Chain A
Amino acid sequence: KFSQISRSYDIVCLLGRSYRCKCRPPARDQFQEELVIRPLHSGDIYASFQFRTLWDTDFLQERQKKVSHYRLFPKSLGQVLSKFSVRELHISFTQGFWRTMQWGQPFIPSPPGAELWVWFHHTVSDVDGNWKELTNVLSGIFCASLNFIDMTNTVQPSASFKPLGLGNATDHRFLRYATLPREIVCTENLTPWKKLLPCGSKAGLAVLMKSEKLFHSSFHSQAVHIRPICQDEQCTSKAWELRQTLNVVFDHYTSGQGKKEWSLFKMFSRTLTEACPLASSSKVYVDITDNPELFELSPATHLLSRAVVLGDRRTYSVYDLTRAETFGQLRSFNLLLRWKGDNMLRPLLHAERYVAGFGLQTGEIHTVIYNNHPYRAFPVLLMDSVPWYLQLYVHTLTVTSKSRDNKPSYIHYQPAKDRHRPHLLEMLIQLPPHSMTEVTVQFERALLKWTEYTPDPNHGFYVGSSVVSALVPSMVAMSTNFTQDQPLFSSFVPVKEESSYFVRVYTEPLLVNLPTPDFSMPYNVICLTCTVVAVGYGSFYNLLTRTFQVDEPSPPLAKRLANFIRRIRGVPLLA
């Protein structure tokens, strides 16, 4: 590359209007950042970053007025939205498995590997074509192997994935859902994710994201959620929301020699020095619901925030990074926390899954869903997407709770087509209070073509997590009113009623062994068949072309020997 000095040109733009406009329109986009730290009862620390960009524009306008001038919203994602007419996009990359029993509910759940679900606008005619192209573009943006999403692992769930944003689209023809349980998440996925932030990793909370610390953790999940939302309570104007979330669980109990003590510097090996100057709010929340019995926090803050999150009333210490006094004398903010005690909390809804059976022909998938609520029964939606090479026997589907048959009130089953489409099984199950519900279904393993095996077929084949979505009855009243100053972590899923809250639980992905052939087999087969054909042909040829003559039987060996001896002796030969 070489550069040249531009000559200056006297080119006069005929400017239609003055550029020194004194009145400045109010900023049409805004940016918020937030970090929530929750000490978990297992001794781990859960840190959840949320970055939200709001922009009151419409990407789905008609062609003439394409959105093309970006400020805080990343250009690459905006172009994707308008090109593919995307209404809602949710993408997550997760390394590790969220242990609901030990850690409780996450703020935004995600399955291991990569998950992508997209609602397209209802004007899209070729949804599958758009989906194919979109996955390829996203795989370029996020440096991930999303291009492996094709029709064999894409499903259209009928009930489990409703739009989270504005508009209640119900036609699931415009929904596509796919998971890649095998996807490995690492630094190369984090870097493009950070680049989408207006401040990058140069200022604000994002300076804490040092990849060697983030990936040295028990659980790492990064996600991008884009959806249209209401600007205000009356919903007079629409805005697009880009929410970037990053959830990490650090295991400091084992690595910290049994001392339950952590600080920002210990977790991220950085401290905070400033908020992102473009952010309209920049806050750090620390969950101190169990304070003061369990731990102490320094520096202490008198700013407290109470919020009802996931059916539980929590108290948070709030540190506002846009205020100078947060950073104190040293102009650096390092949070320190010491633990004193311990206790345990059971999540109300929990699910797990495993594969049973032996041999390489048949097997059984068990999904176990726990309702730990002492006295309330509630329905859950279970969604399973199983690849076509596990051929499900739906007649063996049984749902039992408390050792009694539990008939699902709604079942949506879409059978697989070999090499084209996976199985999709969705059902609505009523979970009795304080119970364990077991869903089992048998399957047979299919034989793949030799080119369809992955490079390491003996490792096994992944089956994505099942998704359990439920409105869990809340112990306390949820707040349904829409206010802007709600913390971000509690405002992701809209709360429709006071008595319940929405929870999505992902089970473990399964790893299933399929019968694996010897891969030098094709050549052996060719050689063997050729030899068999050649032998058959040879005898046939002989039969056709040879002439057979009756031959004088030669005298037996004893007689010949005798004659030989006789000849030597000169005695007359035997007849």
Chain B
Amino acid sequence: MCLQVLAACYKALSDHHRGRYAALAIAAVVIVVGIPLWWKTTETYRAWLPFSEISELDSLQLQLSVDIEVVFSRGTLTPEQQKKFPLSHVNQKEHQFLSLSCLLLPPTEADLSLHMLSESSCGSVVVYVIPESAALLPEDVKVYVGQRRTALLRSPPFKSSWSLKEVLSNLDMEVEQVVSTMSFSHQDIVAALSDRVRMAKVTKESMADSMRAIKSSPGYEITFSLLNPDPRSHSLHWDIEGAVQSCIQPLLNKLAPIANFSVDSQILYYAVLGVNPRFDNSVSAYTLSADSLSHVINPVEARLGSNAASSNPVLNFLLYVPDSHHSPLFIRDHSKREVPSNAFHSPRWGGIMVYNVNEMYGPEAERPVDININMAKVMGVFLAQLRLMLGVQHTHPPTGFVLQSPGSAGLADWELDRLLWSRSVENIATASTTITSLAQLLDQIGNIVINDNIAQQVSSAVTSLQSAVAELEAGNLAFALQYSREAILASERAFFDPSLLHLLYFPDDQKFAIYIPLFLPMCVPIVLSLLKIVSEAKKKRADKQAKSD
């Protein structure tokens, strides 16, 4: 009898224990297997991104350095000072060559032969210091800047007793002026960054320059359009092909390191300007005032057509030949004077030139009149506008500076360098803003899928950015520009990747709402039995304590 009761007791107890263990085991399975499984199957794929490096980019310190070579020609330094020269600073051969030949030549040829002498790398500056009394430069000229990367500097009077250090420090001022003319000044860099960074200290001039210039991009489409609003009276002919070959192409070849350029042209008939010019009796001509110029472009732009074959920014240059009822047509500036070039430009868009042909034929000429357009005149204006659009800043040299004219290419080497400096800085700024905003976006919206290729693009953009910054610091301008272009390309590709938008937008609350019919019935018994087990354990402990007491 007693045994039976014991067995029953034991069975009840083990049954009770079995239930408890089963509940615990199920809870454990749900927590260890179920929840991770559900989490894993419903989570979005997010590849790893170098967030820490990206956040470093946010507060990027740029340090630009320029290689400056200062060469003293014979006669500038006393033998005493020369002796103290460390050998690495001077090249004896150059020194002699300079003293022998160059002083006899006019500055232009001197510049060329100096360039032959030392092939200076992209971004560097060579300053030749010539004696104060040298006849190479005219009397009042202090500094002569050549077509390449060289400058001639008339040395200030040195005292023969000065040590080399004093001589150099005496030169510092001049060399700095030369460098800020030939490579970059603080203002240029700030202006290049003005779009990305808010800074107050920018002069109006350089601000206007940077606003006029089209933004840095891997390629540009240059389109020349001839607008002929009156094909019944004028049959226009322009040899655009030859003109582009001889005027525009040399400049574009020179600018090839910056971007790829493609040149197109078209003729648009019945294309009219958006404003009606006013007839001015005093000059018996039609005039367009400066205020109305802003309304000219929009109606024309609809006819220009976008470039179907690429997505690069387009620079438009329009040659407008007014119809016979509205010619001659002149553009007047704000002070009501006629503009000698009869052209204007719109920042980051392009330029328009008005070309009057009414004097080329008499009233009894047979219509349509065949007219050949003087392309040299047209291209001179367009080339000037193109330089502005591309951001070739016109420099304001300090007094006493003479700049050699850029020659057939339309661009001196050091002008190109100036452009490269500001472009590299701008590229770096653009790429880093793109990458940081992308990282910010991905960080904020957890639902976006990050594919492996996006992660790869982002990290390659970051590495290119870092190497671009490093190259800038080392003064290797060409590499810096190349890396900064790579960075821009990679960052844009990552930013505009369509796979970022693929996932349908499911907010978390909706996701949970869908799973509620599963979660609620499953979790309630588990939670209740766990609570029961806990309360039983507490009760038991209390019982035990009471017993032991």
Contacts and interface: CB of A to CB of B under 8 A. Distances in A.
Contacts of B372: 19-21, 24
A545 B23 contact: yes
A74 B343 CA distance: 26
B383 A6 contact: no
A68 B237 contact: no
A203 B270 CA distance: 9
Contacts of A13: 243, 246-247, 376, 379-380, 383
Contacts of A527: 514, 517
Contact of A141 (B297, B308, B525): B308
B370 interface: yes
Interface in B208-265: 212, 223, 231-232, 237, 239-243, 245-247, 262-265
A16 interface: yes
Contacts of A157: none
Nearest to B241: A69
Contacts of A140: 306, 308
B514 A526 contact: yes
A79 B515 contact: no
A9 B303 CA distance: 29
A523 B267 CA distance: 59
A494 interface: no
Interface string B516-528: 0110111001100
B239 A19 contact: yes
Contacts of B306: 76, 140
B398 interface: no
Interface in B177-226: 212, 223
Most buried by A among B341, B410, B518: B518
B266 A75 contact: yes
Interface residues of A, number: 65
B385 interface: yes
A14 B22 contact: no
Nearest to A201: B270
Interface in A59-94: 66, 68-72, 74-77, 79-80, 82-83
B455 interface: no
Nearest to B292: A3
A542 to B, nearest CB: 8
A211 B468 CA distance: 56
A375 to B, nearest CB: 51
A77 B305 CA distance: 10
B138 interface: no
A137 B341 CA distance: 38
A3 B346 contact: yes
Nearest to A535: B521
Contacts of A274: 232
B305 A278 contact: no
Interface stretch (A165-173, A192-200, A324-332, A343-351): A192-200
A16 B239 CA distance: 12
A546 interface: yes
Given A8-B340, A83-B309, A2 B294 contact: yes
A545 B21 CA distance: 8
Contacts of A549: 12
Interface string B259-283: 0001111110110000000000000
Contacts of B297: 1, 3
Given A534-B521, A544-B26, A8 B341 contact: yes
Interface in B351-380: 351, 368, 370, 372-376, 379-380
A143 B368 CA distance: 35
A538 interface: yes
Nearest to A531: B517
Contacts of A3: 290, 293-294, 296-297, 344-347
Given A19-B372, A68-B264, A70-B264, A537 B522 contact: yes
Contacts of B298: 1
B349 A6 contact: no
15 contacts: A1-B349, A4-B346, A6-B384, A11-B410, A13-B376, A19-B372, A68-B265, A69-B240, A69-B266, A199-B231, A202-B270, A277-B231, A527-B517, A534-B520, A544-B22
Given A3-B344, A531-B521, 5 more contacts: A24-B372, A76-B307, A76-B308, A137-B308, A141-B308
Q: Which 6 A-B pairs have the closest CB atoms?
A: A534-B521, A9-B384, A8-B341, A530-B517, A530-B518, A13-B247
